[in-house]
Structure 1
Amino acid sequence: MSAVASAALAACGGGGGSGSATTTSNPSAPTASAQLTGKAIDGYLVGATVCFDNGQGACDPSLPSGTTDASGGYSLPDTGNLQGKMLLVTVTPGTKDLSRPGYTFPATFTLSQTVAASGQQNISPLTTMISAQMEAGLSQTQATAAVAQLLGGNVDPNADYIASSNAATASTASAILDKLTSFATNGVVDAATVRNTMNAIVAKGDVASVTLTDVQTQAAKPVFTVANASQVLSSPTYALDGYLPYFSSFNAQPVQAIVQDVRQLQGAQVTTSQQEYSSGTWQPVTNGKYETMYGAYELRNDASWSAFVPVSTYRAPLAVSANGTVLSGTDPVTGIGYSIEYRTVDLGGLPLATAVPAGNYELSALWTLAPLTTSTFSAATKAYVGLQSYSNDRVILPVWLPACDNPSIANGMVCDGAQPAVMEDGVISLITGDASTTYTSVRQAIGLNLEGRAGGFGMTLTADNKVTATSFSSGGQQTVVIGSWALYSRNANVIVMNVDPAQLAQLGTDPLLSPVYDGAKLVVGLRNGHLRMGFLYPSTYVQKTFEFSSSLNAQLISGVQTATTP
């Protein structure tokens, strides 16, 4: 799948823009008296220093700072553009914890909070854990979800759990601090130990059982440092799109090439363009050469279906506004908000496959091949990590290009009977089910053989909410259960399939299944009387791209060339 198809399916690149995106105003521009407020919490922490991080775990003297008051509160001038910046609270043995009368903290340590777009900015062990998870490579949304899961799934880790009298969360937060201070050296828990302890707790799903060995295990992992998206994209970045196939004829072997995405912030728009590697040089990709679909239908924020979105739309620039380190905007097709975050990371010692996208259309599953999986990046190989996320689930029904030359529909089928199809929105539209039937409920998909593009994979939904597929082996043909299904909560005419990616082999080898390896779920949706296969990208899904300044990494290019040489 090309980057444009990936844009539609994996929510990267275009966002349904029209190409005429306009500058949006900064929603967080402060008024003259705007204040950033919140509480410092284990219990409420009194007499602790509050400041902004200078990028090295210490206070930035160029930005406001203060001390928490008798109720643990603080108030700092809102200078604007603060989203994504790090707030710090330094706790010392002299800091009072109102929930532990007479208690003296045995060590000095620093808690943190990554400033959110709005609301009170509380700083606690839980928000510190969110910051640590972001430094482990997660987006802010993903990191928040991971900490919420540790707390049982229904707790907002950014909330004031003392004010809400949430005794269980308060107990967990205090246990986290007690664990943290147990790893102090000479009366100090340094920033790295704070980060590694927090990530060890999330990794184990438990506070009490975390040991120094667990903390040391986290210390060996790369650190993803928050970067300013506007600054990163002020110059072009270069990311591997994949080793993509071009079918000049479906009766011949495809021509394949290394393709990269070039991304840049130009004015108030993020642009993404494709280039292919040919004869040792990069050339612009023209005429949608590597696209595998005509376009798509998307579920809007109000849970209704969009009109047909042509594939060219996904190359349109993204309209963004900058708020602190984050770029954000709203998809004009769906009304769903998106944000773009960046991290910097040292890839030294990590496999080359780290920077290979797993959700693109690859005939060879590039990310699984040696030497990409066995060779590592040289020491001090710096990269940017782009993290694009959306504020709601995205459900997308691709309209695939038929996999045959000169396609035409005969008796409701295309490509000599390979797959059912209808003519809709000016294109031949592949569907599943019977082309002559006008379906009225997605439940009518139960019992049908649901096919992917060109019959590349097939499955059946059973009345007892199972997903089955036909498996072929030396023992013959058999039906196996590969997952379960349920109606989607936002639209009762969408069925979501929960299939373990490890079981995808039961569905065949169609590369169009690759988004599931990257965190998507298969769906069947009913739109305009037709059943269509597609994908659901949950709100916690993040399109992650490893991007390089100046040019695509030479080791990565060489690794792809070796991996794809017969």
Structure 2
Amino acid sequence: MNNIPRKPTVIAALCATMLAACGGSGDSNSPSTSTPPTTTPPAVTTPSITGKAIDGYLVGATVCLDLNANNVCDSGEPSATTDANGNFTLPYTGDTSGKRLLVQVTPATKDLSRPAGFTFPASYTMSAVLEGGTTGQHVSPLTTLVTAQMEAGMSRDEAVRAVQALLGSNVEPTADFVANGDAATTAKAIAIIDTITSLAKDGKADATIVRNVLNAMVTKGDVAVTQADVDTQAAKPLYTLADASKVLAAPVYSYIDSLMTNLGSPTQAVIQIQNNALRKDYQARQTAGGAWEAAASDFVSLGDPTSEFDMKADGTWTRLLQPSDLKAPLPLTTIGHRLAGTDPVTGITFQYESRDVDMSNLPAFDAVTGGRFGPDTSLAPALQNAKLPAGTQGYLGIQSYDTDRVVLPIDLGGCPVPYQSNSQCPIAPGLPTAYPSAVINDTALPSPLTSIRQLVGRTMIEPVMSQVKVQINADGTAQFSLLNSVFGSQVSPGQPLGMTAYTTVTGKWSIYARNENVMVFDMSRDAAATVARLGWNAWPVGQGAKLVFALRDGQLHSGVLFPAGYTERAYQFRNGLPSVLTTAVNQPR
């Protein structure tokens, strides 16, 4: 073998020099050199709102974001025309919460679900209130129904339920029912539009006509409505959507009732957002024309309990709650067009919405809020002929909870616990201190009570909410008998004294899902109205609440279940209460 070292060639030397310059070597494991790939910058996308205009899919309709909330597509507002499939894209970079999309349909608009050659007989406008989303924001007769109900004073969730009551419980108002193949909902949507256009004026159904027609449908429970039905809705107030965070940035005032400790003293709530919480402070005016003073910490509205147990979100019970517990500020997790937060006592989340409303010439009693168990009807005689002055502007505050609330009042002026109809109250009614620290049930009942089902087959007196006699049958039915007496919460003026006849209505009972020792009573709307009219404190039952019996740590209670979405409403005024609300009742009655 030739071991004489060789001199590198010129080419080899050049290669070595190039490798060294590139940081490389002859090692096959070293990274190779390459030209960096050419990259294409990502396409710039403009923030936008997308969706479909639907009756069937609407082609050639004008869509806009109604920034000034005047129900018209104005120059300068984001707008577009729907394409051949009903799609639209609106350029918009802001928060969409509470904003309203409008779809303006004319005889030139084509509906892909209608026969070829179909022409709309009148122009009309549909709408949808956005909740912060930007994609899939469809506008249809169903979303327009929701908007109309919100403008009738309902919360958004209430409005959705009202639409479902009209069209079907499985209907989702914001869905693309055409893409989902939902022929039944498509047919109902078409029928809604046909009714609207048939009631148009001079070839046009403006926002007011559309709103009144749709509210007439919900009120009647039928898509087929008449001009008379529509005229009835036209006489009702319009509740314009408002930004709750702006309304409550400064105090607003609502009329509560008369202070329990002095029936001549009107009381008001001062409501505002403060320190990221929804705060309500209560004040009383002790003398006519005098200053408003802070109400005592133990102040309760007439008809409301002085103490109570509430069910928590997990189905267990709170400790015995006092008025100060129930009036504590509610921390807010969302502050915007809608407010949201969690009740620190129960852990149940809530929503709060606001509406602007012209209250000119409305009955003054409409502005009496009362507590959770209803307005103080004793104020009705003083206010029955009074009206709010022309030009009175105010707000409607709407608060609702996302989960059922079960409340067990302790002292509403009568026996604090249920008892068998052939027995008597086992606890002396009266002062809150009369509530026992130990279990005290009617001795005619099984002892100890370990299950609410032990009431089945018995006839009980519900003494707290309604003074109703309840027969609880094994087949799941129940009969409610109420005495036709002057003690009812909604007694008509002039009702004669000494009436002893009973009114009986029927319903059903069931065991509550969140707590097996709660028995819930369901009844028809008409039956509930009867219980509300004749019961002592049963006003909420007429508004959708339900009577309950509950067993808590062996103690039998009665109370009320406020279903998820049950709303508490209050008319509010910016610069204090109108004088008509206070002067008429600012004297002992």
TM-score interval, normalised by the smaller of the two chains = 0.7 to 0.9
User: What is the SS of the residue equivalent to 2:159?
Assistant: helix
Match of 1:140 in 2: 156
- Of the three residues 467, 472, 480, the one matched with 1:468 is 480
TM superposition score normalised by structure 2? 0.77
Alignment of 1:68-467 (within 5 A): 68-76=82-90, 79=93, 81-100=95-114, 101-116=116-131, 120-208=136-224, 210-246=225-261, 256-279=264-287, 280-290=290-300, 293=305, 295-322=307-334, 324-357=336-369, 365-366=377-378, 369-400=380-411, 413-415=426-428, 423-424=436-437, 437-446=447-456, 447-453=458-464, 457-463=467-473, 464=475, 465-467=477-479
Change (3 A) 1:234 1:148: same
Change (3 A) 1:78 1:536: farther
2:55 is the alignment partner of 1:42? yes
Match of 2:18 in 1: none
1:51 Cα deviation (Å)? 2.1
Which stretch shows the higher mean deviation, 274-283 or 112-121? 112-121
TM superposition score normalised by structure 1? 0.80
Change (3 A) 1:361 1:146: closer
2:546 is the alignment partner of 1:527? no
Q: Which runs of 5+ in 1 are unaligned?
A: 1-31, 247-253, 405-411
Match of 1:5 in 2: none
User: What is the SS of the residue equivalent to 2:408?
Assistant: strand
User: What is the SS of the residue equivalent to 1:500?
Assistant: helix
- Of the three residues 512, 530, 535, the one matched with 1:502 is 530
1:207 Cα deviation (Å)? 2.4
Change (3 A) 1:74 1:438: farther
Answer whether contact 2:414 2:463 (CA < 8 A) is retained.
Answer: no
State the distance in 1 between where 2:69 and 2:443 align: 55
1:239-291, Cα deviation, whole Å (9 max, x unpaired): 01111312xxxxxxx65521100001124211100000112221001231337
User: What amino acid does structure 2 have at the position aligned with 1:265?
Assistant: I
Change (3 A) 1:240 1:162: same
State the distance in 2 between where 1:456 and 1:211 align: 38
State the distance in 2 between where 1:430 and 1:67 align: 71
1:99 Cα deviation (Å)? 1.2
Change (3 A) 1:72 1:371: same
1:156 Cα deviation (Å)? 2.0
State the distance in 1 between where 2:410 and 2:479 align: 23
Q: Which runs of 5+ in 2 are unaligned?
A: 1-44, 416-424, 486-496
1:483 Cα deviation (Å)? 3.6
User: What is the SS of the residue equivalent to 1:320?
Assistant: strand
Answer whether contact 1:469 1:506 (CA < 8 A) is retained.
Answer: no
1:199 Cα deviation (Å)? 1.4
Which structure has the larger Rg over C-alpha atoms?
2
User: What amino acid does structure 2 have at the position aligned with 1:200?
Assistant: A
User: What is the SS of the residue equivalent to 1:516?
Assistant: helix
Which stretch shows the higher mean deviation, 236-245 or 350-359? 350-359
Identity of aligned residues (%): 39
Alignment of 1:547-566 (within 5 A): 547-561=572-586, 565-566=588-589
Match of 2:11 in 1: none
1:488 Cα deviation (Å)? 4.4
State the distance in 1 between where 2:284 and 2:430 align: 34
Change (3 A) 1:448 1:376: same
User: What amino acid does structure 2 have at the position aligned with 1:40?
Assistant: A
2:60 is the alignment partner of 1:52? no
User: What amino acid does structure 2 have at the position aligned with 1:392?
Assistant: T
User: What amino acid does structure 1 have at the position aligned with 2:189?
Assistant: A
Give the root-mean-square deviation of aligned CA atoms.
3.5
User: What is the SS of the residue equivalent to 2:143?
Assistant: helix
State the distance in 1 between where 2:152 and 2:468 align: 37
User: What is the SS of the residue equivalent to 2:585?
Assistant: helix
Match of 1:493 in 2: 517
Which stretch shows the higher mean deviation, 312-321 or 224-233? 312-321
Aligned length: 511
More strand by share: 1
1:349 Cα deviation (Å)? 2.1
1:38-95, Cα deviation, whole Å (9 max, x unpaired): 3211011223232222221123666643333333233446645433322111222332
User: What is the SS of the residue equivalent to 1:345?
Assistant: strand
User: What amino acid does structure 2 have at the position aligned with 1:109?
Assistant: Y
State the distance in 2 between where 1:323 and 1:158 align: 24
User: What amino acid does structure 2 have at the position aligned with 1:43?
Assistant: G
State the distance in 1 between where 2:407 and 2:348 align: 13
State the distance in 2 between where 1:544 and 1:352 align: 15
Answer whether contact 1:431 1:532 (CA < 8 A) is retained.
Answer: no
Which stretch shows the higher mean deviation, 517-526 or 166-175? 517-526
Change (3 A) 1:358 1:331: closer
Answer whether contact 2:369 2:375 (CA < 8 A) is retained.
Answer: no
1:491-512, Cα deviation, whole Å (9 max, x unpaired): 33222233523245655xx4x3
